[in-house]
Structure 1
Amino acid sequence: MDWKRFFDNLGMNGTRWQWRIMNWERRLKGGPGAPPLFGHGGPSLTGILIFANLALFTLMVIHGTILGLGLQAILNPPTQLLVYWGGQYWPLVLGQGEWWRCLTYAFTHGGLIHLGFNMMVLYQVGPLLEAELGKPRFLFLYTLTALTATGLGYLWHPAVPVVGASGSLFGLIGFSVVYYHRMGRAGEQIRNFMFQWAIFAFIFGLLVGADNAGHLGGALGGALLGGVLPIGVRSRRIMDPLFKGLAALSLAAIVGSLLLLAASLLTT
């Protein structure tokens, strides 16, 4: 299809949009995970997030093994261990001021299968969206939806411990469905690709008894941002300083939360 003529007829810069949609097609045909997590420009933000999840899970498993849990530490860690390693538990958040749990829970996972599926989704969805949005917007989106996911979880089941990155993953998917839908025909392929992952993740959630409140909260937060984020290059450039600031706050919140988790581990 002559994408340049298509977008020129819409009164848009056909060359720019032709390059963008050809780039999307190349990524999808070459594997939804492209571009690579580790390339000439160093690790992507998606790669760093995956590494952080794997590292925290590894440390939790080592601790569980020392406690004598054996394979249970890997396949089905007990609730006490999950909460100890940063799981969300609103009574501790509100009663003891452990607000860092509102982010650390998204890096804690309830077993190898839980971790593996979530990281597979992040590996498939993350790089494409990161390349489209850029690191600042991607980091803010990931952080925001982790918060909206646990926020709805508080309204739904405030006394239930929750772990996992799936709230943010549904946030990425919810954002993408709305964002690419706003592009019309140009975004249909990626929108449908994200719908497929939403279905896969939902079915997996039903099979393992995942936190559907968190999934919904993340998806709603992502969809809201996807509905208001400018699509045009000029508008996006105007808002670059805002999102760089929001990304800096997001990074500080994540790093600070993980450091507070580390401090909690060292003092208990």
Structure 2
Amino acid sequence: MATCYRHPNRETGVSCSNCGRPICTSCMTPTSVGMRCPECSKQKTQVRTAATMYGGEPRVTVAIIIACVILFLGSGGSIGLSSSGGGWIYQHFALYGPLVHYEHEYWRLVTSGFLHSGIFHIGFNMYLLWILGQQLERTLGPTRFGTIYFTALLTGSFGALVQTTESVVVGASGAVFGLMGAMVVIQWRRGLEAFGGGLGGLIVINLVISFLPGFNIAFGGHIGGLIGGAIAALAIHESDRFRKPWLGYVACAALAVAAVIGSVAVSGDFHSIG
């Protein structure tokens, strides 16, 4: 049984018809479109159609996918399985520790998350991004979703640089793992099975693949993104529960800044632990 997001000690089977958060009898506000939580009851009712719910809502998710595909094609990507790296875009936007530390090219911490090395790489990442992104963005809204995504992207870059500063790293995997971590936290805080619906198996399988020899995967980025996404989602959820949403954004900003500072610090060490 789920528990009220404002009163965790109260079990309830009712959820807000707008945001989906579980609410108890004390928090229910009857409206023409069902029961709503105190925050949503103060908002104007938005008319939702099948087109807006399933076609236009995940705007941030779609924008990220489009950006990744455009950059993949622009960097020389093809329908083959070979790497698309080595072009001008890779040279100026892929993640490489020494250039971050000594040349102060800090934008690489973000831009590398939009580049991919081959059709299998981008195809797998974009598939997971679509599956997880559309669910989370509809649940959290585009602003909260985007905040979690880019926080996880930065913590993923930090994790990748902790693993190695001698290799060029690209891919949205860190941010996608962050969405997995966020999904676990949100389901857990809503009283649902945290690893239900195959989510636990998805995380385990992807982590196992990350450590398989011969795949040349930056597993540090996966772990960093997973942890960062989980922390960001928890901060946003708890700040909403205490009706201080700005605290969640502050916490995510602090985590992102810490990830950038850590990335710059470790990227000056020429080492590889994996």
Provide TM-score, normalisation by structure 2.
0.67
Instruction: Say whether the 8 Å CA contact 1:149–1:216 is kept in structure 2.
Output: yes
Name the structure 2 match of 1:238. 244
Q: Which residue among 106, 111, 124 is the counterpart of 1:99? A: 106
Instruction: Determine the C-alpha separation between the residues in 2 that align with 1:203 and 1:146.
Output: 20
Number of residue equivalences: 223
Deviation at 1:149, TM superposition (A): 1.0
Per-residue displacement from partner, 1:97-146 (whole Å, max 9, x unpaired)? 11110000000001111000000000111111111111111111111111
CA 1:116–1:225 in structure 2 vs 1: closer, same or farther (change >3 Å)?
same
The whole-number CA distance in structure 2 between the counterparts of 1:244 and 1:150 is 20
Task: Give how far 1:240 is off.
Answer: 5.2
Q: Distance in 1 between matches of 2:120 and 2:248?
A: 38
User: Shift of residue 239 of structure 1?
Assistant: 0.7
Q: Structure 2: which 5+ runs fail to align?
A: 23-49, 257-274
Indicate which of 50, 64, 80 corresponds to 2:65. Answer: 50
Distance in 2 between residues matched to 1:193 and 1:10, nearest whole Å: 28
| Deviations 1:156-196, CA, capped at 9 Å, x for gaps | 21222100000001111112213322333xx2176543223
Any idea what SS the aligned residue of 1:230 has? helix
Q: Which amino acid aligns with 1:224?
A: I
Aligned residues of 1:37 and 1:47 also touching (Cα < 8 A): no
TM-score when normalising by structure 1: 0.68
Which stretches in structure 1 are left out of the alignment for 5+ residues?
23-34, 63-69, 251-268
Offset at residue 58 of structure 1 (A): 0.9
**Amino acid in the other structure paired with 1:15:** V
Counterpart for residue 65 of structure 1: none
Tell me the alpha carbon deviations over residues 26-48 of structure 1, each in whole angstroms, 9 at most, x when there is no partner: xxxxxxxxx98995646621111
Identity of aligned residues (%): 28
Question: 2:268 corresponds to which residue?
Answer: none
Instruction: Work out the CA distance in 2 between the residues paired with 1:109 and 1:119.
Output: 10
Q: 1:59 to 1:38 in 2, by over 3 A?
A: farther
The answer for the alignment partner of 2:203 in structure 1 is 198
| Residue 130, structure 1, aligned to residue 129, structure 2 | no
| Structure 1 residues 195-248: Cα deviation after superposition (integer angstroms, max 9, x where no partner) | 23213433443373311010011111112223333358653x53158649979x
Alignment of 1:217 onto 2:232:
no
Q: Is the 8 A contact 1:169 1:218 kept in 2?
A: yes
5 Å-filtered alignment, 1:1-268, equals 11=10, 14-16=13-15, 20=20, 41=56, 44-61=59-76, 75-79=82-86, 83-84=90-91, 86-184=93-191, 187-188=192-193, 191-205=196-210, 206=212, 208-230=215-237, 235=242, 237-239=243-245, 243=249
Contact between 1:37 and 1:46, CA under 8 Å: does it hold in 2?
A: no
* CA distance in 2: counterparts of 1:81 and 1:229, whole angstroms: 38
Amino acid at match of 2:75: M
